[in-house]
Amino acid sequence: MARDIFRRLVRWEGLLLAILAVIVVVTGIAVPGYLNPQNQINLLELSIEKAIVVLAMTFVIVSGEIDLSIASVMGLSAVLVAWLKEQGVPVEVGIIAALLVGALCGLFNGYWVAVIGLPSLAVTLAGLIGYRGAALLLVGDRSIGGFPEWFNRLGQQPLLGPFPLALMVFAVLLVGATVLLQFSGFGRYAYVVGSSPEVARFSGVRVRRVKLAVFAMSGVVSAFAGVLLLARLGAVRGSTAEGFELDIITMVLLGGVSIFGGSGTMAGVILSILVVLNLRNGLALANATGNTQAGVIGALLILSVLVPNLVAAARSRLGRGGSAEAAVIPKLSDL
């Protein structure tokens, strides 16, 4: 059983790697400038805040929950730094306050889910609306800019060689998240809690604590990503980061993390981030409209969910000796 899951995961990541290779090769040939190193940095930088939150969201989904409030927390934290700056609070202090508020938002979500036992879909949907509402209350319809030079520079200019700060932060967080999920006790608990909370409880895993920690992490990381977004844009308004949650969840699911929890790997998630960003960049460079980009990525998500299931279904039928269904397989491999 465990070996089956392992095999399926390897296959999923292999599929993603193949898709990524096809995207890179085709776009590299067809779209001039795509392989230019600066463009590769640009394509990461344009979505780096989302990619950072994807790392935290992976833990949430692996442990069998969902957090829809992430984008609202990003917006709230960015707005909070700006609003505090207007009240005369230094940006450094504002950032710390924003991270604290992010942690509180996450713990608040986690409390209702882990301690009270409400479904995370409902709790974090309330968070999505509530935290966004708080952001809008703070700044209304205004747009706040005029941050100190050092802050803008960190967000907008390369820090080391061609790499901006956010990219390096992402690299560090990526290593940290991979170690935490795949090679630590906490990571194993998250998988167990996600595949079966009962089994986890009987084996002595502190389910509540794991879930609380996962939500708190999601809140802090989202708040941090919100600050990075603020630094990159140099200005913020109440609707900043609105709608990001869908892109973020898409990347996690495309990475092979089961929406029911308990399975998926960080490697798959990374590949999925690269697939989505490269595909979107290639389409954008070819001047495809935003709607086309969304459509293509949506189709990819549907395919990535369907294909493995179809293959599994076809295999199990073949295993029973049926040969009529064999025709399905060449079609799939054409993809």
Partner 1 sequence: MRIKHSTSLSLLAGLALVASACGGPAAAPSQSPTQAAATPTQAAATATAGGVAKATPGQSVKMMLLPKFLGILPFAQANKGAGDAAAELKNSTALAFVGPTADNSVQGQIEFMTNAATQGYKVVMISNNAGDQIAPAATAAQAAGVKVVAWDSPIPSAKGENLFVAQVDFNEMGKVMADMALSIMGADGGKFAILSASPDAANQNAWIKALNDALKDPKYAKVQLVDTVYGNDQSERSYTQAQALVAKYPDLKVIMAPTTVGIAAAAKAMQDGKMCDKVKVSGLGLPSEMVSYTINGCAPQFALWSFVDLGYLTYYTSYMLATGAIKGTEGEQFEAGRMGTFKITKDPTRSAGLRVLMGPFKIYDKTNVEAEAK
Interface ranges with partner 1 (CB under 8 A):
26-27, 29-34, 36, 38-39, 42, 45-46, 141-143, 145, 152, 155-156, 232-235, 237, 243, 281-292
Instruction: Compare residues 36 and 203 and give the one whose CB is closer to partner 1.
Output: 36
Q: 197: which residues sit within 8 A by CB, 6+ positions away?
A: 64, 207
Nearest to 65 by CA among 287, 249, 221, 236: 249
Instruction: Compare residues 71 and 213 and give the one whose CB is closer to partner 1.
Output: 71
Provide, rounded to whole angstroms, the least separation between the CB of residue 163 and partner 1: 14
Instruction: Compare residues 149 and 198 and give the one whose CB is closer to partner 1.
Output: 149
Provide, rounded to whole angstroms, the least separation between the CB of residue 75 and partner 1: 12
Identify the helix (H) or strand (E) that includes residue 228.
helix 207-233
Provide, rounded to whole angstroms, the least separation between the CB of residue 177 and partner 1: 25
User: Residue 63 phi/psi, 5° resolution?
Assistant: -85, 15
Provide, rounded to whole angstroms, the least separation between the CB of residue 141 and partner 1: 5
Instruction: Compare residues 54 and 214 and give the one whose CB is closer to partner 1.
Output: 54
Provide, rounded to whole angstroms, the least separation between the CB of residue 235 and partner 1: 5
Distance CA 206, CA 17 (A): 36
CA angle 278, 284, 290 (to 5 degrees): 110
Instruction: Compare residues 13 and 247 and give the one whose CB is closer to partner 1.
Output: 247
Provide, rounded to whole angstroms, the least separation between the CB of residue 232 and partner 1: 7
Identify the helix (H) or strand (E) that includes residue 236.
strand 236-237
Distance CA 68, CA 267 (A): 23
Instruction: Compare residues 234 and 322 and give the one whose CB is closer to partner 1.
Output: 234
Distance CA 225, CA 330 (A): 43
Sign of CA dihedral 161, 167, 171, 173: positive
Q: Helix crossing, 70-86 with 48-62: angle to 10°? A: 130
Q: Are residues 306 and 217 in contact, defined by beta-carbon separation less than 8 angstroms? A: no
Q: Dihedral angle at the C-alpha atoms of 289, 291, 295, 296, nearest 10 degrees? A: 20
Provide, rounded to whole angstroms, the least separation between the CB of residue 80 and partner 1: 18
Distance CA 89, CA 98 (A): 12
Provide, rounded to whole angstroms, the least separation between the CB of residue 36 and partner 1: 6
Q: Are residues 143 and 242 in contact, defined by beta-carbon separation less than 8 angstroms? A: no
Instruction: Name the DSSP class of 114.
Output: I
Instruction: Compare residues 5 and 286 and give the one whose CB is closer to partner 1.
Output: 286
Instruction: Compare residues 58 and 240 and give the one whose CB is closer to partner 1.
Output: 240
